[in-house]
Amino acid sequence: MNNSVNSHFNNWNRRQFLRWGIAGMGMAGGAILLRHFASPFNAAVRIPERETDNDLTLDNPFNPTAILREFDYGIIKQENGRKIREFNVVANSTLINLNSAISFISWNLNNRVPGPTLRATEGERVRIIFNNEDGHSHTLHFHGTHPAEMDGVTPIRHGKTAIYEFEAKPYGVHLYHCHIAPVTRHISKGLYGMFIVDPLSPRPPADEMVMVMGGYDINNDNHNELYAFNGLPNYYRDHPISIYQNQLIRLYILNMIEFDPAVTFHIHGNMFKVYKTGRNLTPDEETDVITMGTAERHILEFSYNYPGQFMFHPHQDIIAEYGCFGKFNVLPA
């Protein structure tokens, strides 16, 4: 079992723990548990059991089904009476198998593409400890507001550590990525992830999931040859995402595709409400296709009234045909 799998199970246990509403088990994440426990609604959300993964034949260090609902809340520390939410992010190079024929040396964060979905609440002090174990210089540049010295554009060399610390604000869906030139290359190799800042009064309960759209320039010609949701091309085509009928889905979506100026996202058989950049608590519009330039991100909310399988994909269909394609498997309520 590698670390990403272990951390997945830790997160999964935490979620189960929340759902069951058992208090006082005493663990490092106690403060986190209490904060979420304060919401009376989470217990109402049902998440289908994960099917047994039969995809180990591809032998990848991460699993998009785990990435989908995995949130990294960090570790809570108290320093001089102040609460700090601390995250650890490590850059490295890892060979990943994009399909049965094509391997690719990714530059990644915490051994996965996309990197961990970091999550905090508005106004919290966050500290990101960034260790660069990769041979190239990298950085973590966050979107959202922060002081200039925390902007993550100063190269961090191999073997060095940087600490980024700032107040998480404003609430919404943000991102982080390496900002070393050429940025196209550092991003498309895999150095990016989502940064969710929750509003002080939580959003309603939902089956929450993350999708990050990425592109792979296999032959360094500044064009993408393959695309993916959450790291592996066509993964959710071959492993449809199980969701329950008539249950609210809250999808945090981010476009990190370089070289293509913009992509759309479309779901079949349904409409979704759009919360642009997650910066509102009421929807901005309702549609079934939304356009995002690189680094644009939104919250989409929907629920399926009919069971069965429904595709989702960008409506630049060539991008869907080269890997950015998946399905929801809607289970009867």
3-state secondary structure of 294: coil
Q: Which stretch binds Cu ion (CB under 5 A): 49-57, 171-179, 222-230, 263-271?
A: 171-179
Helix, strand, coil % in the chain, rounded to nearest 5:
15, 40, 45
Distance of CA 69 to the CA centre of its chain: 8
CA distance 35 to 140: 27
Sort 174 into a burial class: Cβ within 10 Å, 0-12 / 13-18 / 19+: buried
Smallest separation (angstroms) from Cu ion to the CB of 188: 11
**Residue whose CB is less far from Cu ion, 92 or 280:** 92
DSSP 316: S
Q: Which stretch binds Cu ion (CB under 5 A): 15-23, 98-106, 136-144, 234-242?
A: 136-144
Smallest separation (angstroms) from Cu ion to the CB of 138: 3
CA distance 142 to 3: 24
Among 69, 112, 119, 138, binds Cu ion (CB under 5 A): 138
Long-range contacts of 154-159 (CB under 8 A, 24+ apart): 155/180, 156/130, 156/132, 157/132, 158/132, 158/133, 158/134, 159/132, 159/133
Structure token digits, residue 98: 């994009």
Q: Does 299 bind Cu ion (CB under 5 A)?
A: no
Smallest separation (angstroms) from Cu ion to the CB of 91: 7
**Residue whose CB is less far from Cu ion, 208 or 258:** 258
Total residues contacting Cu ion by CB under 5 A comes to 5
Smallest separation (angstroms) from Cu ion to the CB of 186: 3
Q: Which stretch binds Cu ion (CB under 5 A): 63-71, 135-143, 285-293, 297-305?
A: 135-143
Q: Is the peptide bond before 240 cis (omega within 30 degrees of 0)?
A: no
Q: Show Cβ contacts of residue 147 under 8 Å, excluding neighbours closer than 6 positions.
A: 166
3-state secondary structure of 184: helix
Smallest separation (angstroms) from Cu ion to the CB of 118: 17
Q: Which stretch binds Cu ion (CB under 5 A): 15-23, 54-62, 133-141, 261-269?
A: 133-141
Q: Which stretch binds Cu ion (CB under 5 A): 132-140, 211-219, 255-263, 285-293?
A: 132-140
**Residue whose CB is less far from Cu ion, 257 or 319:** 257
172-211: contacts with Cu ion (CB under 5 A): 178, 180, 186, 191
**Residue whose CB is less far from Cu ion, 96 or 180:** 180
Contact 83, 30 (CB under 8 A): no
Contact 121, 35 (CB under 8 A): yes
Smallest separation (angstroms) from Cu ion to the CB of 191: 5
Smallest separation (angstroms) from Cu ion to the CB of 153: 11
Contact residues: Cu ion, CB under 5 A: 138, 178, 180, 186, 191
